C-alpha cells in the first residue's frame, strides 16, 4: 500500500498562535509536559472505557501507561502512551483546533498584548498540545487508533505554518507517541532529573503509571480519590507532609467527597503552626485545583474564602474542563459552588475541633487572626460566631479563652447583653474606668486586644439572642439591676452625700471651664474607683471604632464627649469643697482641665502631652507647697 503523504497549511488562527508561541520568551516552558501527559492520560481513560465496554482492541494486552524517553545526545524527548490513539481524520481534526472555547478571544488578546507577553497568556489560558512548540524545533506524532483494523499515521511539523501527514506502512503499537526535537536552548528537557521534577510537580497524581527510563515517577497515589474509611491518620499525615513540606503533622484534616451540586473531592488540612506567609502576603492562600488528577492551579484563591486561608490542601473535580483558563475560573459558577460547600464543611470541622478545648486553643492561637477576617460572611454567620474566642474578665490571665456561648451560659439571670471592651492589653483594659461598675456587679466583660475584635462584634451585632454591647455604652441603670458583689466595697455606707445643688453648680462650672471640648459634664453612675471618665454621647460609635475611623480619615482632633465625674471620689469631693467656697477658683479650673486630659490620655486621644505635663507640674508644685506648710517642714 502506498503511503499517502501530504503537506497542509494550519488554519489561520493556529498559524497565528504558533507564530506567538515560537517567537516568544517564556519563563514557564515546562508546562508543555503537563499538557502532553494529561492528553496521554485522557487517551488512556478513553481506552479503558472501550475496554470495559467489551470492544475489540488493537494490542489488547499492552499495559495502560505513559512512557517518557529522553535522549540527551539526540536532544529528543518522546512521550508515548498506549491509549486510544487517533485515526488520520481525528489527527487532522483534533490537532488542528485550539482546545479551549475562547480561542478567538485568546488571539485577540495575544495580538493586543504583543508576543512578548505570551508567557502570561499561555500561563493563563493553557494552549494544550501547541505548548510543545515552546520547546520544540520539530514534533513528530505517530499514532494508531485502538480499533484492531486501524492503521498508523504520522504527523510532522516544525510549527511554522504547515504540517505533513502520512499513512505508515510499517506496523506501530496502539496509542500515540510524540517525539520532540528539542530547541537548542531547551536541551534541559532531555535531562531525566529535570523531567522527574516536572512530572512530580504537575502530574504526580495521574492515575496511570508514568515511566521514565523504565522507572515509575508518579508514586504517590491520589489519596483523596480513595474511600475515607480505608485511610488511617498516618497516611493523611504523610500526604500532608508531601503536599506542604511541613515538618509537623497537621492539626486536623478534612476529606470530602461531594456529588451535588458539583462533583468534587477535597482534602484539606489545618497546619499545626501558621506558615507565616499569610500576613506577609495575605493574597497568598488557596487550595490546589486539580481537574481529573491533573494540577490546574496551585493555591487557587476562589476555592475558599480568605478567612479560611490557613487551610492547605486540594480540590479535584471532574466537572471542569482541563484547559479552563485562570480568568474563566474566577467567574466560574462551579468553582463558586465548590467554595460554598467547602466553607460549610470547614466550619463544621472547626466546630468539631472546638469540642476539644485544648486543641482548639492551639488552633485559635495560631490561626485565629485569619479566621477573624470572616465576620462579613453573613451566610455562615452563626457557625462563624460560634468559633470566635475572647479573653475575658473571668480569666486569670491573657491566655484564657471563652466562646460567646460560654459567656451566655455564665451570664446573670435577666442579662440580655454580652459586654466587651477594647484596649491594647489586659493590664490596660483592667484599668479602664468603664469597667468599674461591671467589676462591682460581677458582670463578665470580653476583652478585645486586637482592632479586628471590635469590628467583628460590632458587625455581628447579636449572638444567640444577646446583643453585643461595648461596655462604655452600657446603660448603668441596666447594670444596677444586678446586686453588687461585695457590699462593703460597693454599696456600703457612703460618706455623707454631697449637697445636690452645690454639686450641680460644680458640674456647670466644670462644663464652662472645658467649653466646647465636652458636650456635657455630669455625675457618673458607672465609676467606682476613678474620679472621671469620658463617655460617648448616646447613639455614637464606640470609642475604639471611632478611633479607627479617625485613623482612616487622619482626623487628630479629640472627639467631643460627655465627661462623667464620680461624686463619691475624694478628689471630686475636694473639688466640690473648693468650688463651693470660690466659684472662680483657678486651682479648681486647672484640676478640671487635668481630669479631662487624663481621661483623654487613657482613651488614647491625647496627641500632645506637653500641656498636660506642664499643668501636672504646676499642680504638684502648689500641692507640695501646701503639704510642706501643713507638715510645718
Ligand atoms: P485538549 O487536550 O484540551 O483537548 P489539545 O490541543 O491538547 O487540547 O489536544 C487536542 C485533541 O487532540 C485532544 O482533545 C485529543 O482528542 C487529541 N489528542 C491529543 N493528544 C492525544 C493523545 N496522546 N492520544 C489521543 N488523542 C490525543
142-185, pLDDT tens digit by residue?
999 999 999 999 999 999 889 999 999 878 899 999 999 999 99
Percent of the chain with pLDDT over 70: 89
Q: What is the pLDDT of residue 108?
A: 61
CA 82 to centroid of ligand 1, rounded, Å: 14
Q: What is the pLDDT of residue 488?
A: 47
Of the pLDDT bands very low, low, confident and very high (cuts 50, 70, 90), residue 264 is very high
Mean pLDDT of the 186-203 span: 93
Mutate to test the pocket of ligand 1, among 21, 47, 129, 163 (most ligand atoms within 8 A of CB): 129
CA 546 to centroid of ligand 1, rounded, Å: 60
pLDDT digits (tens, 9 = 90+) for 507-535: 999 999 999 999 999 999 889 889 999 98
Q: What is the CATH number of the domain that holds 438?
A: 3.40.50.11260
Specify the residue with its C-alpha closest to ligand 1, atom 14.
94
Which residue, of 417, 448, 479, is where some domain finishes?
479
Which residue, of 305, 336, 356, is where some domain finishes?
356
Q: Is the pLDDT of residue 273 over 80?
A: yes
Per-position DSSP letters for 8-33, written without gaps between them: EEPPHHHHHHHHHHHT---S-TTHHH
More confident residue, 107 or 208: 208
Q: What is the CATH number of the domain that holds 169?
A: 3.30.565.10
Half-sphere exposure of 589 (CA within 13 A, CB side): 10
Q: Calculate ∠ Cα 599-602-607, nearest 5°.
A: 90
Residue pair 276/369 in contact (Cβ under 8 Å)? The answer is no
Does residue 362 lie within any of the structural domains? Answer: no
CA 40 to centroid of ligand 1, rounded, Å: 8
Same structural domain, 463 and 504: no
More confident residue, 486 or 161: 161
Mean pLDDT of the 395-401 span: 95
Which residue, of 216, 241, 259, is where some domain finishes?
216
Q: What is the pLDDT of residue 80?
A: 98
CA 189 to centroid of ligand 1, rounded, Å: 21
Mutate to test the pocket of ligand 1, among 37, 82, 94 (most ligand atoms within 8 A of CB): 94
Of the pLDDT bands very low, low, confident and very high (cuts 50, 70, 90), residue 340 is very high
Specify the residue with its C-alpha closest to ligand 1, atom 9.
129
Q: What is the pLDDT of residue 219?
A: 85
Mean pLDDT of the 323-348 span: 84
Same structural domain, 204 and 240: no
Count: domains in the chain: 4
Mean pLDDT of the 119-128 span: 58
Q: Which residues line ligand 1 (CB under 6 A)?
A: 35, 39-40, 43, 81, 83-86, 94-95, 99, 128-129, 176, 322-323
Average pLDDT, the chain: 88
Specify the residue with its C-alpha closest to ligand 1, atom 19.
39
Does residue 380 lie within any of the structural domains? Answer: no
Same structural domain, 594 and 523: yes
Task: Domain of residue 35: give its range.
Answer: 5-216
Q: Is the pLDDT of residue 490 over 70?
A: no
Residues 525 and 596: their CA atoms lie apart, in Å, by 17
Distances (CA, A) of 415 to 220, 238, 439, 479, 491: 57, 49, 15, 9, 20
Of the pLDDT bands very low, low, confident and very high (cuts 50, 70, 90), residue 16 is confident
Specify the residue with its C-alpha closest to ligand 1, atom 15.
94
Q: Is the pLDDT of residue 82 over 80?
A: yes
Of the pLDDT bands very low, low, confident and very high (cuts 50, 70, 90), residue 101 is very low
Mean pLDDT of the 209-230 span: 92
Those residues whose C-beta lies under 8 Å from the C-beta of residue 260, and which sit 6 or more positions away, are none
CA 524 to centroid of ligand 1, rounded, Å: 79
Those residues whose C-beta lies under 8 Å from the C-beta of residue 152, and which sit 6 or more positions away, are 142, 143, 144, 167, 168, 170, 171, 172
CA 60 to centroid of ligand 1, rounded, Å: 22
Q: Is the pLDDT of residue 318 over 90?
A: no
CA 39 to centroid of ligand 1, rounded, Å: 5
Amino acid at each position: 500500500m502506498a503511503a499517502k503523504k501530504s503537506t497542509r497549511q494550519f488554519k489561520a488562527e493556529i498559524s497565528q498562535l504558533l507564530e506567538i508561541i515560537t517567537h516568544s520568551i517564556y519563563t514557564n516552558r515546562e508546562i508543555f509536559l503537563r499538557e502532553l501527559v494529561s492528553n496521554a492520560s485522557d487517551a488512556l481513560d478513553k481506552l479503558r472505557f472501550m475496554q470495559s465496554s467489551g470492544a475489540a482492541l488493537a494490542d489488547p494486552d499492552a499495559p495502560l501507561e505513559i512512557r517518557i524517553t529522553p535522549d540527551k545526545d539526540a536532544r529528543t524527548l518522546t512521550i508515548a502512551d498506549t491509549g486510544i490513539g487517533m485515526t488520520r481524520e481525528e489527527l487532522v481534526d483534533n490537532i488542528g483546533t485550539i482546545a479551549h472555547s475562547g480561542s478567538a478571544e485568546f488571539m485577540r488578546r495575544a495580538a493586543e498584548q504583543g508576543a512578548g507577553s505570551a508567557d502570561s497568556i499561555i500561563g493563563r489560558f493553557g494552549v494544550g498540545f501547541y505548548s510543545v512548540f515552546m520547546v520544540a524545533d520539530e514534533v513528530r506524532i505517530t499514532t494508531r487508533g485502538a480499533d484492531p483494523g486501524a492503521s498508523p499515521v504520522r504527523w510532522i511539523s516544525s510549527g511554522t505554518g504547515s504540517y505533513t501527514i502520512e499513512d505508515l506502512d510499517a506496523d506501530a503499537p496502539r496509542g500515540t507517541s510524540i517525539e520532540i526535537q528539542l530547541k537548542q536552548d531547551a536541551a534541559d528537557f532531555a535531562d531525566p532529573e529535570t523531567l522527574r521534577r516536572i512530572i512530580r510537580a504537575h502530574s504526580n497524581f495521574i492515575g496511570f503509571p508514568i515511566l521514565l527510563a523504565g522507572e515509575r515517577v508518579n508514586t504517590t497515589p491520589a489519596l483523596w480519590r480513595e474511600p475515607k474509611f480505608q485511610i488511617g491518620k498516618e497516611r493523611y499525615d504523610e500526604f500532608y507532609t508531601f503536599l506542604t513540606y511541613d515538618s509537623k503533622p497537621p492539626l486536623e484534616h478534612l476529606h470530602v467527597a461531594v456529588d451535588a451540586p458539583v462533583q468534587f473531592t477535597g482534602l484539606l488540612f489545618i497546619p499545626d503552626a501558621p506558615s507565616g506567609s499569610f500576613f506577609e502576603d495575605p493574597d497568598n492562600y488557596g487550595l490546589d485545583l486539580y481537574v481529573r488528577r491533573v494540577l490546574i492551579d496551585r493555591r487557587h484563591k476562589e476555592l475558599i474564602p480568605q478567612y479560611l486561608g490557613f487551610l492547605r490542601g486540594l480540590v479535584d473535580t471532574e466537572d471542569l474542563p482541563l484547559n479552563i483558563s485562570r480568568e474563566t475560573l474566577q467567574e466560574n459558577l462551579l468553582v463558586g459552588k465548590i467554595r460554598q460547600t467547602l466553607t460549610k464543611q470547614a466550619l463544621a470541622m472547626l466546630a468539631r475541633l472546638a469540642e476539644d478545648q485544648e486543641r482548639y486553643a492551639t488552633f485559635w492561637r495560631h490561626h485565629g487572626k485569619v479566621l477573624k477576617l470572616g465576620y462579613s460572611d453573613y451566610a455562615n454567620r452563626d457557625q462563624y460566631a460560634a468559633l470566635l474566642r475572647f479573653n475575658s474578665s473571668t480569666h486569670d490571665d491573657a491566655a484564657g479563652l471563652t466562646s460567646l456561648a460560654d459567656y451566655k451560659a455564665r451570664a446573670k439571670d435577666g442579662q440580655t447583653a454580652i459586654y466587651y471592651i477594647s484596649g491594647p492589653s489586659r493590664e490596660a483594659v483592667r484599668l479602664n474606668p468603664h469597667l468599674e461598675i461591671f467589676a462591682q456587679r460581677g458582670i463578665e466583660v470580653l476583652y478585645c486586644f486586637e482592632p479586628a475584635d471590635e469590628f467583628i462584634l460590632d458587625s455581628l451585632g447579636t449572638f444567640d439572642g444577646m446583643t453585643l454591647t461595648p461596655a462604655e455604652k452600657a446603660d448603668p441603670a441596666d447594670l444596677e439591676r444586678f446586686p453588687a458583689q461585695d457590699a462593703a466595697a460597693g454599696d456600703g455606707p457612703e460618706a455623707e452625700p454631697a449637697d445636690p445643688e452645690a454639686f450641680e453648680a460644680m458640674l456647670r462650672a466644670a462644663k464652662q471651664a472645658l467649653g466646647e471640648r465636652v458636650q456635657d459634664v455630669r455625675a457618673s453612675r458607672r465609676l467606682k474607683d476613678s474620679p472621671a471618665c469620658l463617655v460617648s454621647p448616646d447613639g455614637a460609635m464606640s470609642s475604639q471604632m471611632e478611633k479607627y475611623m479617625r485613623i482612616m480619615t487622619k482626623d487628630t482632633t479629640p472627639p467631643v464627649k460627655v465627661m462623667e465625674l464620680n461624686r463619691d471620689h475624694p478628689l471630686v469631693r475636694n473639688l466640690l469643697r473648693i468650688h463651693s467656697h470660690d466659684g472662680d477658683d483657678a486651682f479648681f479650673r486647672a484640676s478640671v482641665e487635668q481630669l479631662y486630659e487624663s481621661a483623654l490620655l487613657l482613651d488614647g486621644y491625647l496627641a500632645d502631652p506637653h500641656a498636660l505635663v506642664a499643668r501636672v507640674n504646676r499642680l504638684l508644685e502648689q500641692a507640695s507647697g501646701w503639704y510642706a506648710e501643713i507638715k510645718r517642714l
